[in-house]
Chains A and B, each alone.
Chain A
Amino acid sequence: MDGMIHPGSDAILQAGPVELAIPETGIANLSRRGLLGSAAGALLLGVMLKGRPARAQGEGLAAAAPRPGTQVPAFLEIRQDGTVRLLSPFVEGGQGIATAMAQIVGEELDVDPARFVVDCAPPGADYLVVNGRRLTGGSYSVRSSYGTMRQLGATARNLMIRAAAARLNLPEAELETENGTVIHRRSNRSLTYAELVEAAWRLPPSEVAALRDPATFRWIGKPVPRIDVRDKSTGRAQYAIDLTVENMLHAAVQHAPRLGQEPASFGNEAAVRAMPGVHSIQRLPGAVAVLADSWWRARRAVETLEVTWNDGQHARALPADFSSAGMLAALRGERGAGSPAEENGDLRAAFAGAAKVIEAEYDAPYLAHAQLEPPSAIARFNEDGTLELWLPNQAPEMFQASAARMAGLEPGKVKIHSPMLGGFFGRHFLYDAAMPYPQAIALARAVGRPVKVLWTREEEFLRDAYRPIGFARFRGAVGADGMPVALHASAVGEGPIGRYFTPDRPVDSSMVEGIAGKPYSIAAKRVDCVKVKQPPVISFWRSVGHSMNDFFYESFLDELADAGGRDPFEMRLAMLSDKPRQATLLRAVAELSGGWKRGPFELDGVRRARGVAMASPFGSEVATIAEVSIGEGEIRVHDLWIAIDPGRAVNPAIIEAQVQSAAAIGLSSSLLEEVTYEGGAPQQRNFDTYSILPPARMPRIHVRIVESGAALGGVGEPGVPGVPPAVANAVAALTGQRIRSLPMSKVRLGA
Chain B
Amino acid sequence: MLELTINGETRRVEVEGDTPLLWVLRDTLGLTGTKYGCGIAQCGACTVLVDGTAMRSCVTPADSVVGTQVMTIEAVERDPVGAKVVEAWVEKQVAQCGYCQSGQVMAATALLKQTPKPTEDDIAAGMTNLCRCGTYNAIAAALRQASA
Q: How far is the CA of A269 from the CA of B102 in the complex (A)?
A: 38
Determine if A236 and B128 form an interchain contact, defined as CB atoms under 8 angstroms apart. Answer: no
Query: Which of A32-40, A237-245, A568-576 participates in binding chain B?
Result: A237-245
With a CB–CB cut-off of 8 A, which chain A residues contact B89?
A: 229, 233
From A230, A371, A701, contact of B97 by CB (8 A): A371
Whether B45 and A372, one on each chain, are in contact in the complex, defined by CB atoms closer than 8 angstroms, is yes
With most chain A CB atoms within 10 A of its CB, the pick from B23, B38, B99 is B99
Contact of A686 with B38 in the complex, beta carbons under 8 Å: yes
| Shortest distance from the beta carbon of A693 to any chain B beta carbon, whole Å | 7
Q: Does chain A have a CB within 8 A of B147?
A: no
User: Which residues 506-537 in A have Cβ within 8 Å of B in the complex?
Assistant: none
Across the interface, do A233 and B132 meet the contact criterion of CB distance under 8 Å? no
Q: Cβ of B90 < 8 Å from any Cβ of A?
A: yes
Given A235-B74, A239-B99, A374-B37, A663-B134 contact (CB < 8 Å): yes
| Distance in angstroms between the alpha carbons of A659 and B118 in the assembled complex | 28
Q: Which of A638-692 contact B (CB under 8 A)?
A: 653, 657-658, 660-665, 668, 686-688, 692
Would B19 and A94 count as touching, CB distance under 8 A? no
Rounded to whole angstroms, the CA-CA distance of A235 and B98 in the bound complex is: 9
Q: How far is B81's CA from A679's CA once the two chains are assembled, in angstroms?
A: 51
- Interface contact B90-A229, CB-CB below 8 Å: yes
Contact A694/B33 with A239-B99, A294-B27, A657-B138 known, Cβ cut-off 8 Å:
no
Contact residues in A for B39 (Cβ distance below 8 Å) = 456-457, 686
Q: Is B16 an interface residue (CB 8 A)?
A: yes
* Cα of A416 to Cα of B143 in the assembled complex, Å: 39
Can you pick out 18 interface pairs between chain A and chain B where the beta carbons lie within 8 Å of each other?
A: A228-B95, A230-B86, A232-B101, A234-B73, A234-B76, A234-B105, A241-B35, A250-B27, A276-B16, A421-B97, A425-B132, A456-B39, A657-B96, A657-B138, A660-B135, A695-B124, A695-B139, A698-B134
Q: Does B77 have its Cβ within 8 Å of any Cβ on chain A?
A: yes
Bound-state CA distance A296–B60 (Å) is 13
| B68 interface residue (CB < 8 Å to A) | no
Cα A129 to Cα B136 in complex, Å, equals 34
Q: How far is the CB of B82 from chain A (nearest CB, A)?
A: 9
Q: Is A7 on the interface with B (CB-CB < 8 A)?
A: no
Is A740 positioned at the interface, with any CB of B under 8 Å from its CB?
Answer: no
Query: Shortest beta-carbon distance, A718 to chain B, in Å?
Result: 14
Report if A73 contacts B (CB, 8 A). Answer: no
CB of A222 within 8 Å of the partner chain:
no
Q: Which chain A residues border B93 with CB–CB below 8 Å?
A: 225-226, 229, 653, 657
Interfacial chain A residues near B35, Cβ < 8 Å:
241, 372-373, 422
Q: Is the CB of B96 within 8 A of A372?
A: no
Q: Knowing A234-B33, A371-B132, A665-B132 touch, does A94 contact B96 (C-beta < 8 A)?
A: yes
Whether B96 pairs with A661 at a CB distance below 8 angstroms is: yes
Contact present for A700 and B137 (CB under 8 Å) = yes
CA distance A421 to B95 in the complex (A): 13
Contact between B138 and A660, CB atoms less than 8 A apart = yes
Q: How far is the CA of A238 from the CA of B74 in the complex (A)?
A: 13
Asked whether A270 is an interface residue with its Cβ less than 8 Å from the other chain, the reply is no
> With A229-B94, A234-B74 given, can you name 12 additional A-B contacts, CB distance below 8 Å?
A225-B90, A229-B89, A233-B95, A294-B23, A373-B35, A373-B97, A422-B97, A423-B99, A454-B36, A457-B37, A457-B40, A695-B128
7 tightest CB-CB pairs across the interface, nearest first?
A235-B33, A664-B134, A232-B98, A94-B97, A422-B99, A235-B73, A94-B96
Tell me how far the C-beta of B138 lies from the nearest C-beta in chain A, rounded to whole angstroms. Answer: 7
Q: Which residues from A are CB-within-8-Å of B28?
A: 294
The verdict on A295 contacting chain B, using a C-beta distance below 8 Å, is: yes
Q: Is the CB of A664 within 8 A of B136?
A: yes
- Complex CA gap A421/B96 in Å reads 10
Is B129 touching A695 in the complex (CB atoms < 8 A)? Answer: yes
- B92's nearest neighbour on chain A, judged by CB, is A229
8 Å CB contact of A423 from B16, B32, B133: B133
Contact of B27 among A225, A295, A688 (CB under 8 A): A295
Residues of B within 8 A of A695 (CB): 124, 127-131, 136, 139-140
CA distance A12 to B24 in the complex (A): 46
Interface size on B, residues (CB 8 A): 55
Question: Given A294-B23, A688-B40, A233–B130 Cβ distance below 8 Å?
Answer: no
The answer, yes or no, to whether B6 is at the interface (CB within 8 Å) is: no
Interfacial chain A residues near B55, Cβ < 8 Å: none
- Docked complex: B1-34 residues within 8 A CB-CB of A: 15-16, 19-20, 23, 26-28, 30, 32-34
Q: Is A696 an interface residue (CB 8 A)?
A: yes
A372 close to B43 (CB less than 8 A): yes
Bound together, the chains give a CA A668 to CA B98 distance in angstroms of: 19
In this complex, what residue of B is CB-closest to A241?
Answer: B36
Contacts of A653 in B (CB 8 A): 93
Q: Which residues of A contact B16 (CB under 8 A)?
A: 276, 297
Question: What mask results when residues 104 to 143 of chain B are scored 1 for a CB within 8 Å of chain A, else 0?
Answer: 0100000000000000000010011111111111111000
Complex: how many Å from CA A371 to CA B95?
14
CA distance A161 to B20 in the complex (A): 57
Q: How far is the CA of A657 from the CA of B32 in the complex (A)?
A: 26
Identify which of A229, A658, A663 gathers the most chain B CB atoms within 10 Å of its CB: A229
Assess whether A600 is interfacial by the CB under 8 Å rule.
Answer: no
Q: Is A272 among interface residues, defined by CB-CB distance under 8 A?
A: no
In this complex, which of B27, B102, B132, B137 has the most chain A Cβ atoms within 10 angstroms of its Cβ? B132
Q: Does B100 have its Cβ within 8 Å of any Cβ on chain A?
A: yes
Distance between Cα atoms of A374 and B133 in the complex (Å): 15
CB pair B33 A236 closer than 8 Å: yes
**What's the minimum C-beta distance from A219 to chain B, rounded to whole angstroms?**
15
Q: Assuming the A-B contacts A229-B93, A296-B19, are A94 and B133 also in contact, with contact meaning beta carbons closer than 8 angstroms in the complex?
A: yes
A residues 397-434 with Cβ under 8 Å of B? 420-425
Q: Is B42 an interface residue (CB 8 A)?
A: yes
In the bound complex, CA of A532 to CA of B133 (Å): 32
Contacts of A237 in B (CB 8 A): 98
Q: Which A residues are CB-close (under 8 A) to B86?
A: 230, 233-234
Establish whether residues B90 and A660, one from each chain, have CB atoms under 8 Å apart when the complex forms. Answer: no
Q: Which residues of B contact A276 (CB under 8 A)?
A: 16
Measured between alpha carbons, how far is A94 from B134 in the docked complex, in Å? 11
Given contacts A234-B86, A372-B131, A692-B132, A228 and B27 within 8 Å (CB-CB): no
Contact B135–A372 (Cβ < 8 Å) = no
Chain A positions within 8 Å of B136 at CB level: 664, 695, 698
CB of B108 to closest CB in A, whole Å = 10
By a CB distance below 8 angstroms, the chain A residues around B133 are 94, 372, 423, 661, 664
Q: Report the bound CA distance from A698 to B130 in whole Å.
A: 11
A295 touches B23 (CB 8 A): yes
Q: Mark B72-91, 1 if CB is under 8 A from A, else 0.
A: 11101100000000100110
Q: A237-B98, A687-B43 are in contact. Are A661 and B134 (CB under 8 A)?
A: yes
Q: Does A743 contact B (CB under 8 A)?
A: no
Q: Contacts of B38 on A, CB cut-off 8 Å?
A: 457, 686-687
**Docked pose: A232 CA to B33 CA in angstroms:** 9
Residues of B within 8 A of A235 (CB): 32-34, 72-74, 76, 102
B134 to chain A, nearest CB (A): 2
From B34, B40, B124, residue with most partner A Cβ within 10 Å: B40
> Does A661 contact B99, Cβ atoms closer than 8 Å?
no
Task: Give Cα A653–Cα B91 distance, bound, in whole angstroms.
Answer: 12
- A372 and B100 contact, CB distance less than 8 A: yes
Q: Give the shortest distance, in Å, between A233 (CB) and chain B (any CB).
A: 4
Q: Closest chain B residue to A238 by CB distance?
A: B32
Q: How far is the CB of A228 from chain B (nearest CB, A)?
A: 7
Given A296-B20, A371-B132, A687-B43, A242–B32 Cβ distance below 8 Å?
yes
Per the bound structure, the CA–CA distance linking A242 and B35 in Å amounts to 9
Closest B residue, CB atoms, query A425: B132
How many Å from the CB of A305 to the closest CB on chain B?
17
Q: Which residue of B lies closest to A452 (CB)?
A: B27
A370 beta carbon closer than 8 Å to chain B: yes
Most buried by B among A235, A373, A664: A235
The answer, yes or no, to whether A93 is at the interface (CB within 8 Å) is yes
Residues of B within 8 A of A238 (CB): 32
Contacts of B45 in A (CB 8 A): 372
Between B33, B86, B95, B135, the greatest number of chain A beta carbons within 10 A of the residue's beta carbon is seen for B95
